[in-house]
Amino acid sequence: MSKSFNKANSNIDLSLFTIKTEESKEEMAKNSNNSIVKIDTFDEMDSRNIKIEHAIKILNQQWRLSGLRPRTIDSYNYNFKRFVEVTDVEYLHEINNEKIYQYLSSFENVKDTSLQGRLKQIKAVLSKCHDNGWYNSKFWKNIKIKVNTSVKEATTEKELALLLSLLDKSTYSGLRDSIAILLLYKTGIRIKTLGALREQNIDFDNRLLKLQGEIMKAHRPLILPLDDEMCTLLRELISINDGVRKEHREKNDYIFLSNIGVPISNTVSPSNLIAKNLWVYSKKWNLKNVNPHSIRRLYAQNLVKRGADINLVSHALAHADISTTSIYLGLNVNLVARNLREFL
């Protein structure tokens, strides 16, 4: 590895980076503190006796013990803290629908989807309070924000092929990003999972990608097949990584590294170096729709085109609910239900 120009010393077959498109090459070229707190419990769970500050401490402990992701916990805390500041409430019994509407009204020039997300988080916190017996009913359940959900488009093989043709695979970053793009395209994994991949996740003998629950959004393990080309590329990257780590005196077994040998993963945000680079490439080469999510959608749509039913697609995407997959693919939920009835 060259320190000055980040060269990747590799004799890899560049044809492995080919994505089939209908266009010719000529046309394509044209175009918080995690410690457990000690908290006294209440003999009688009465919301009139419970300070919000005290309740949040209990909830944080419960969230951590239940394995909720740190990023989700941080988001709950940030949003609920803002809710308390806006509504000036101190005790749980002071929270009512009027206070929730007051909080939602405090946002100006915010999209309905963003407002819906904030409401969803407030409801999640209050629902946990209800589970703890601090509320007798879910008075907030009928508060809704109507959102017109538009189906986000998948990227295309044409754009991915163009991007792969433009990346300089003689550099470590160019080779790494090319392999990452192909892995996203061929497996549909989330960008957060990609950044968390380690050598133990690759079963080369059986050509499988084995994902443990701790690196999955839904905390459920998943096994996905790999083709020979993908295995060849991953072997090559792992071999090159050894040199990168040795040069920078790093010790880890992550698959996707930065130029100085540290993992690209970010423990707080789902974004990472690959996601940021995809954004840069899109701007640099005027690619309309190339990002981790659009690549994942393309993977899902390709499965359907090849004959996979929605249940299989849902499993491959590690979705917790088939309705999420329906939205993902732009399918009408009622139509899906009618089609599935044929298999009952």
301 backbone dihedrals φ, ψ, rounded to 5°: -65, -35
Q: Give 171's contacts (C-beta < 8 A, 6+ positions apart).
A: 5, 6, 7, 8
Q: Could you tell me if 166 and 121 lie in one domain? A: no
Each residue's pLDDT tens digit, 210-268:
999 988 988 899 999 999 999 999 999 999 999 999 999 999 999 999 999 999 975 44
Residue 34 binned pLDDT confidence (cut-offs 50, 70, 90):
very low
Query: Is 2's pLDDT higher than 50?
Result: no
The pLDDT assigned to 194 comes to 96
Share of the chain above pLDDT 70, in %: 83
The pLDDT assigned to 42 comes to 43
Contacts 24+ apart (CB under 8 A), 299-305: 299/184, 299/185, 299/186, 299/187, 299/188, 300/154, 300/188, 300/325, 300/328, 300/329, 301/154, 301/329, 303/188, 304/329
Q: What is the mean pLDDT of the chain?
A: 86
Q: Per the structure, how many domains does the chain have?
A: 2
Distance in angstroms (rounded) separating the CA atoms of residues 213 and 327: 24
pTM, two decimal places: 0.70
Q: Could you tell me if 243 and 331 lie in one domain? A: yes
Report yes or no on 25 lying in a domain: no
274: DSSP letter: H
Q: What is the 3-state secondary structure (H, E, C) of 157-201?
A: HHHHHHHHHHCCCCEHHHHHHHHHHHHHHHHCCCHHHHHHCEHHH
Residue 102 binned pLDDT confidence (cut-offs 50, 70, 90):
very high
Of 333 and 320, the structure prediction assigns the larger pLDDT to 320
Q: Could you tell me if 127 and 252 lie in one domain? A: no
How many Cα atoms sit within 13 Å of 269 on the Cβ side?
A: 7
Q: Tokens 């499965």 belong to which residue? A: 303
Each residue's pLDDT tens digit, 254-285:
999 999 999 997 544 556 899 999 999 999 99
The pLDDT assigned to 114 comes to 86
Q: Could you tell me if 158 and 110 lie in one domain? A: no
Q: Could you tell me if 195 and 102 lie in one domain? A: no
Distance in angstroms (rounded) separating the CA atoms of residues 123 and 143: 9
Q: Could you tell me if 66 and 192 lie in one domain? A: no
How many Cα atoms sit within 13 Å of 314 on the Cβ side?
A: 14
Each residue's pLDDT tens digit, 121-163:
999 999 999 999 999 999 999 998 876 666 678 999 999 999 9
Phi-psi region for residue 82, left (φ > 0), alpha (ψ -120 to 50) or beta? alpha
Each residue's pLDDT tens digit, 42-91:
444 455 678 999 999 999 999 999 988 888 899 999 999 999 999 999 99
Domain end residue (candidates: 77, 97, 131): 131
Q: 16-20, 172-176, 298-302: which has the minimum mean pLDDT?
A: 16-20
Q: Could you tell me if 107 and 234 lie in one domain? A: no
Instruction: Look up the CATH number of the domain holding residue 58.
Output: 1.10.150
Domain with 291, as residue range(s), is 152-336
Q: Could you tell me if 240 and 317 lie in one domain? A: yes
CA dihedral 281, 285, 286, 290 (to 10 degrees): -40
Q: What is the 3-state secondary structure (H, E, C) of 82-111?
A: HHHHHHCCCEHHHCCHHHHHHHHHCCCCCC
Q: Tokens 């999955």 belong to which residue? A: 216
